[in-house]
Amino acid sequence: NPIFFTNEAAYYAMADDRGQALKFLAAAVDGGQVFSARITDDLPFFADFEGDPEYEAIQKRMLEHVNRERTALGLEPVTT
């Protein structure tokens, strides 16, 4: 469940376990969880992850998912 994975990602991010946080964040996004244009807009405790290649790859996948949905609805894509 993407919501469960998001909650686990949040817990591990706040517990300073970067590996587990990214693992669960990836599972949430890959399961369909979407956030604002930047994940940190909704989950500010991920701010320290900005610039991390693995985090940025997750961010990119999430944004691609959002833009596929927006395209299907006839909306303009969002950018970061």
User: pLDDT tens-digit profile of 14-59?
Assistant: 999 999 999 999 999 999 998 888 899 999 999 999 999 999 999 9
Q: Which of 62, 68, 54 minimizes the C-alpha distance to 2?
A: 62
Q: What is the pLDDT, as a whole number, of residue 35?
A: 85
Q: What is the pLDDT, as a whole number, of residue 55?
A: 97
Alpha-carbon distance values, 46 to 12, 63, 71 (Å):
10, 16, 27
Q: What is the pLDDT, as a whole number, of residue 79?
A: 83
Residue tagged 């591990």 (tokens):
12
The pTM of the full predicted model, rounded to 2 decimals, is: 0.90
Q: What is the pLDDT, as a whole number, of residue 27?
A: 97
